[in-house]
C-alpha cells in the first residue's frame, strides 16, 4: 500500500492521486498490520479497492462492517504515528523492488515483471509453481503438463 507516493526530506508522504489516496494507503497498511491473516486483510483491501473503482472511496469504513471486523485497531493505527511509520516502511519496500516498479499495479512473479499482463496473474503463478500436487486453481487452467517437477500428473 504505497504505489507511486513520494517522501520528502521531513518524512511527509505525498501520493500521486492526493491526500485521500494517502489515507487509504495508510488504512490498508494498518489493516495488514491489524489483521495479519491474508484472507482477512486481503478481503478488506479488495473491498476498499472495489469502492475506489466505483468512486465511493469515502465509504471505505463500510468494508470493516461488511467483513465483521473490529475497527479499533485500524482506526487507532491510521490516526496515529503507527500508520505513518507503516506507510514509510512500505515506501522502503517499494523502493527496494527488483526490478524497480515502473507503474501501479506492479506485479512480479518468479523475478519477472508482468507489465500490463497482470490480468493473467493466476497463469503466471501456476507456471512458476513447483510444488506437488498441482494447485486446484492451476488444474482449472489446464496447466497440468507444465508442472513436471515430479513427471506428468
Same domain for 128 and 82? no
CA distances from 91 to 50, 121, 141 (A): 23, 23, 35
Same domain for 76 and 120? no
* pLDDT given at position 148: 46
Cα–Cα distance, 109 to 125 (Å, whole number): 6
Question: Does 153 fall in a domain?
Answer: no
Long-range contacts of 41-46 (CB under 8 A, 24+ apart): 43/67, 44/69, 45/1
* pLDDT given at position 144: 55
Same domain for 122 and 74? no
* C-alpha atoms less than 13 angstroms from C-alpha of 132 in its C-beta half-sphere: 8
Query: Domain total for the chain?
Result: 2
* pLDDT given at position 151: 38
Are 3 and 104 spatial neighbours (Cβ–Cβ below 8 Å)? yes
The domain of 77 spans 6-95
Burial 31-40 (b: 16+ CB within 10 A, else e): bbbbbeeeeb
Same domain for 79 and 53? yes
Q: Torsions phi, psi of 14, nearest 5?
A: -120, 130
* pLDDT given at position 119: 87
Question: Does 11 fall in a domain?
Answer: yes
* pLDDT given at position 150: 37
Question: Does 102 fall in a domain?
Answer: no
Same domain for 77 and 37? yes
**Total-model pTM:** 0.82
Same domain for 60 and 14? yes
* pLDDT given at position 142: 74
- Residues of the chain with pLDDT below 50 are 145-153
Same domain for 47 and 17? yes
* pLDDT given at position 153: 38
Same domain for 65 and 35? yes
* pLDDT given at position 118: 84
Are 49 and 3 spatial neighbours (Cβ–Cβ below 8 Å)? no
Question: Does 78 fall in a domain?
Answer: yes
Same domain for 27 and 68? yes
Q: Torsions phi, psi of 127, nearest 5?
A: -70, -30
Same domain for 121 and 74? no
Amino acid at each position: 500500500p504505497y504505489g507511486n507516493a513520494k517522501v520528502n526530506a521531513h518524512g511527509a508522504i505525498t501520493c500521486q492521486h492526493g491526500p485521500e489516496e494517502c489515507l487509504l494507503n495508510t488504512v490498508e497498511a494498518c489493516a495488514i498490520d491489524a489483521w495479519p491473516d491474508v484472507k482477512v486483510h486481503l478481503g478488506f483491501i479488495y473491498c476498499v479497492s472495489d469502492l475506489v473503482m466505483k468512486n465511493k472511496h469515502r465509504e471505505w469504513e463500510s468494508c470493516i462492517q461488511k467483513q465483521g471486523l473490529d475497527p479499533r485497531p485500524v482506526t487507532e493505527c491510521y490516526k496515529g504515528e503507527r500508520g505513518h511509520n507503516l506507510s514509510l516502511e512500505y515506501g522502503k519496500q517499494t523502493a527496494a523492488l527488483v526490478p524497480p516498479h515502473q507503474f501501479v499495479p506492479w506485479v512480479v512473479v518468479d523475478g519477472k515483471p508482468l507489465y500490463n499482463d497482470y490480468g493473467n496473474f493466476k497463469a503466471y503463478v501456476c507456471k512458476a509453481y513447483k510444488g506437488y500436487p498441482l494447485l486446484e486453481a492451476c488444474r482449472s487452467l489446464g496447466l497440468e503438463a507444465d508442472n513436471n517437477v515430479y513427471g506428468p500428473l
